[in-house]
Each structure stands twice: as C-alpha cells, then as structure tokens.
Copies of this chain bind each other. A is one copy, B any other.
Amino acid sequence: MITPRTVAGTLELLPREQRIFQHMLDVIRRNYEKFGFVQIETPVFEHKDILLTKSGGETEKQVYFVQSTGGLQQGYAPDMALRFDLTVPLARYVAEHERDLAFPFRRYQMQRVYRGERAQRGRFREFYQCDIDVIGKDKLSSAYDAEIPAIIVRIFEELKVGDFTIHFSNRKILRGLLEDYGVYDGEKQTLILREIDKLDKAGRDKVRATMGELGLTQINADRLLDLVNHPGSNDQVLDSLLCIFSNNLTFKTGVGEVKATIDALRALGVSEKRTRLNLAIARGLDYYTGTVYETKIDAHPEFGSVCSGGRYDDLASHYTKSKLPGVGISIGLTRLFDVLRASDLLPDAPPSVQILIAQLDPGLSAEYLALATELRGAGFRVDTWLEQSKLDKQIKYADKSGIPVVLLLGADEKAKGTVVVKDMNAKTQSDVPRAGMIAKLREILGA
C-alpha cells in the first residue's frame, strides 16, 4: 500500500474550492476576451536552450528538467524543461509564428508554470499565471498602456475581492529626473530605483543616505522622495510633474505617456479610485522600460502585489531579429487564491450541480432519468441518484456536495402530477405542479 500524497508546493483543491478557482479563471478569461484578447496555449515543456537564453539569475536556478525513461536509462542530460513563466513561451511563440499572426497581437494565456522553489508556506512549485500582452511589430502606441489597468479593474470588481488599487508609474519619469540630477549611469539609476522600491521597509532616512552614496545631492534626493510619496490624486501628481522644469526627453516622454494613460482611463470609464499614479512603483526588473503596474488589495497590503506587469521594448530578441515591443500584465492566480482563502475572502461561485433528483421509488427510475433529461434541456445542471438508498443518505450527499435543490418524486406525486422541490439553503420544501416546476427552480436558483 502506497500513501497517497501530492508533491509539496502544489495546490490541489477539493471540488467546492475547485469550483471557486474555476469561477475565477472564467471571470478572468471572459474579461480578457471582452477586451479583444485571443487565447493561445503552449506546451508545458520547451527545449532547454529556448528556456535558458536569458541571463535570468534566480529563475534559471529553479528550472525543472524533463527526461524520458529511455534518456534517463542511457544517462543523457535532459533536453527539455518545464516553463517557469508564460513570457518566454510567448516570445518563442510569436517569433516562431510571426508570419501567421496579426499585429498588434493581443494574446491571453492561462496555464500553469513551474519553479523549483524551496517548499514553504505561500511558495508554489506549480501555479497558474493568467497573462495578457499586446505585442506590436516594430512599434506599439503607448495608447495601449491604459487598456491593461481597465481590464484588471473589471476583473477584480467582478471577483469581489474588496477594494483594490492599481498603482502605476512610468519608469521614464524617474530615469529622466535622475539624468537631470546628474545620474547618467544606467546601473546607478537602477540601484536608485531599487532603493525607492524598498522605501516602505527601509524608511526614508536610510533610503536618502543610500541615494547620497549613489551620487544624488540631499536636495535632489528629497525632491525625489517627496515626489514618490505624493499623496494626491492622479491629476494632482501629474500637475506636480508638469510643473517640473526639465528639458530631459526621457522625462518629458514619460510624463506625456502618463498623461495619455490618465486621459484614456477616463475615456474607458475606469473609476478614479481604482488607479493611482504612484512613482514609487519601479518594479525590480530591468525588463520594463515604460509604464509599470502593481495591484494591491487595499485592506491587505501584506498580500503584496497580486497582479503586476508593464511595458517592454523588445519581447523576443533571442529568437528573432524583428523588434517586438509590448505591454502586458499577469495575475498569479494560485497565489491570489491562496491568500484570499487564508483571509476568508474567496468570492462566491455559482454551484456546479444545481439539482439532485432523489430516488424514492426504484420502480420510477425511468421517470427520474426522463425528468433529468427534461431539466438538462431547460439548461440546468442535474445529478441523478441511481442507487437504492435511504432518502436521508441522499440528502446528506446533496448537503456535502453543496447542491442547492433536491427534487423528490414518489408514487403519490406522480399520481398528483407534482414534484416536491426541496430548497437546501432555505431549508424549505414545497409540492409544485409539474407545469410550474421549471419556473420554481429558476426562482430558487436565480437562473
């Protein structure tokens, strides 16, 4: 006998939680599609040389390699590895199928990715990512940058996870300002941006001191810190930026892009309270070159960002000579689900099975099957109990499975032309004429 157990670092759900997870996937997918994104799926494994082109640091150390039985027996080094994100497969996909795709290419992809993390609470070795990206050929208007938060707002509103804010910024703004302040060296700029990222944890004094070491005067460091701590509305922060006198082109481009994003968010009908121009958002990755996004659940800053992304200059330079700028964002759904569950914030999902037809009288089996077919034809999701069991056992099954309605039909009801509709949540039941059954079920199920 072997003890049944899953691999550590995976999230396997019981059916009722799986239903909620799938509901979240459905909400995300429906909204991605509403914004004109089309789906792709890629194989779980890629050739090793494809996956490991980036001088990726941490993620490369966490790759899972894949080896066939034959290859293992013959002592070969593995040739394949599991994807660790959806960005590298996207880059490979776009480069491979470039001629067959229409650009700007709006793709969504919702699949699991794999990382050899050390097993610990909240770290997953297998987790869902739900990504969107718009990929341009040669160029991509910054107008696309405003759509991304608009989509995420719809999704998080529909998921009912409480108030949330999409923080956004544009890396060109601080880069340009740093040039104005005499810091031209790209690496030093990156180090300063990283310091800003740490502001919450390290505190202002420490960050200012480090900024000094990296070449900023104290006055300029303070200017920068005041700006990234600006408490105002998007328009107010923008006004502060517009008041800064600078001839730096990077800075001016960044401010222009942010202004366009704010205008477009308004045109798209996104509520002002859902987004915040927050210059402290720098994202650690050098990969991003313009707009960056982070999403936070207002009541739970400890979750960190639950949805992040940004604008990049070139998606697939390892695989094609074409220049492919893009903008995208990713929802790490497994982690989001896990933190929401731990805080009892999971959304409700419509029940999977809506109706159980109980078996009161084995002589009426054909009747039960025909009733099930009728109800399925009317659009309901119907389970039929086909064992000879006590009613009590059948009701317990419905209760444990979360089925909201049980139908009871015995010889009496058959003779009268009725059916007993048992509402499991209201704990009530009523004898309903067959002609009124479907209306009654729609009423209870809100369907």
Contacts from A to B (Cβ < 8 Å): 1-7, 10, 12-15, 18-19, 21-22, 33-36, 38-47, 49-50, 53, 60-70, 72, 78, 80, 82, 91-93, 95-97, 100-104, 106-107, 112, 114, 116, 126, 136, 139-141, 143-144, 146-147, 150, 263-264, 266-269, 316, 318-321, 352-353, 356, 365-367, 369-370, 372-373, 376, 380-384, 386-388, 396-397, 400-401
- Enumerate the 8 nearest inter-chain pairs by beta-carbon distance, A residue then B residue, closest first: A36-B383, A68-B116, A267-B366, A267-B369, A143-B386, A10-B43, A4-B96, A4-B319
B38 and A352 contact, CB distance less than 8 A? yes
A401 and B38 contact, CB distance less than 8 A? yes
The chain B residue sitting closest to A42, CB to CB, is B12
Known contacts A2-B319, A50-B4; is-contact A268 B106 (Cβ 8 Å) = no
27 inter-chain pairs at a CB distance below 8 angstroms, sorted by A residue, are A2-B53, A4-B91, A5-B47, A7-B43, A13-B40, A14-B97, A19-B38, A34-B382, A35-B381, A35-B382, A36-B353, A38-B352, A44-B112, A62-B68, A63-B69, A64-B66, A65-B68, A65-B69, A67-B67, A67-B78, A69-B116, A72-B78, A102-B397, A102-B401, A150-B373, A267-B367, A268-B370
Shortest C-beta distance, A191 to chain B (Å), equals 28
* Contact pick for A382, options B36, B96, B352, CB 8 Å: B36
A4 and B95 contact, CB distance less than 8 A? yes
The chain B residue sitting closest to A41, CB to CB, is B18
A369 and B102 contact, CB distance less than 8 A? no
Q: A2-B50, A34-B376, A62-B68 are in contact. List 4 more A-B contacts (CB 8 A).
A: A35-B382, A39-B352, A64-B67, A144-B386
Complex interface: chain B residues within 8 A of A80 (CB): 7
Complex interface: chain B residues within 8 A of A146 (CB): 369
B7 and A46 contact, CB distance less than 8 A? yes
CA distance A3 to B50 in the complex (A): 8
Chain A interface mostly:
mixed
A44 and B143 contact, CB distance less than 8 A? no
A268 and B372 contact, CB distance less than 8 A? yes
Known contacts A1-B321, A43-B12; is-contact A383 B106 (Cβ 8 Å) = yes
CA distance A124 to B365 in the complex (A): 42
CA distance A269 to B373 in the complex (A): 7
* Contact pick for A45, options B7, B69, B401, CB 8 Å: B7
CA distance A35 to B384 in the complex (A): 8
Complex interface: chain B residues within 8 A of A39 (CB): 15, 18-19, 22, 352
B15 and A101 contact, CB distance less than 8 A? yes
A400 and B102 contact, CB distance less than 8 A? yes
CA distance A60 to B72 in the complex (A): 13
Complex interface: chain B residues within 8 A of A41 (CB): 12-13, 18, 21
Known contacts A97-B14, A116-B69, A269-B373; is-contact A141 B4 (Cβ 8 Å) = no
Complex interface: chain B residues within 8 A of A38 (CB): 15, 18-19, 352-353, 401
B126 and A43 contact, CB distance less than 8 A? yes
CA distance A146 to B372 in the complex (A): 13
Known contacts A15-B101, A318-B1; is-contact A47 B7 (Cβ 8 Å) = yes
Complex interface: chain B residues within 8 A of A386 (CB): 104, 141, 143-144, 147
B15 and A107 contact, CB distance less than 8 A? yes
Complex interface: chain B residues within 8 A of A136 (CB): 387
CA distance A116 to B69 in the complex (A): 8
Complex interface: chain B residues within 8 A of A66 (CB): 64-67, 82
Shortest C-beta distance, A5 to chain B (Å), equals 6
The chain B residue sitting closest to A68, CB to CB, is B116
Known contacts A40-B18, A365-B264; is-contact A3 B383 (Cβ 8 Å) = no
Complex interface: chain B residues within 8 A of A100 (CB): 14
B2 and A49 contact, CB distance less than 8 A? yes
CA distance A18 to B372 in the complex (A): 33
Complex interface: chain B residues within 8 A of A7 (CB): 43, 45-47, 80
A36 and B384 contact, CB distance less than 8 A? yes
* Contact pick for A61, options B69, B106, B114, CB 8 Å: B69
Shortest C-beta distance, A214 to chain B (Å), equals 33
A376 and B141 contact, CB distance less than 8 A? no
CA distance A42 to B21 in the complex (A): 13
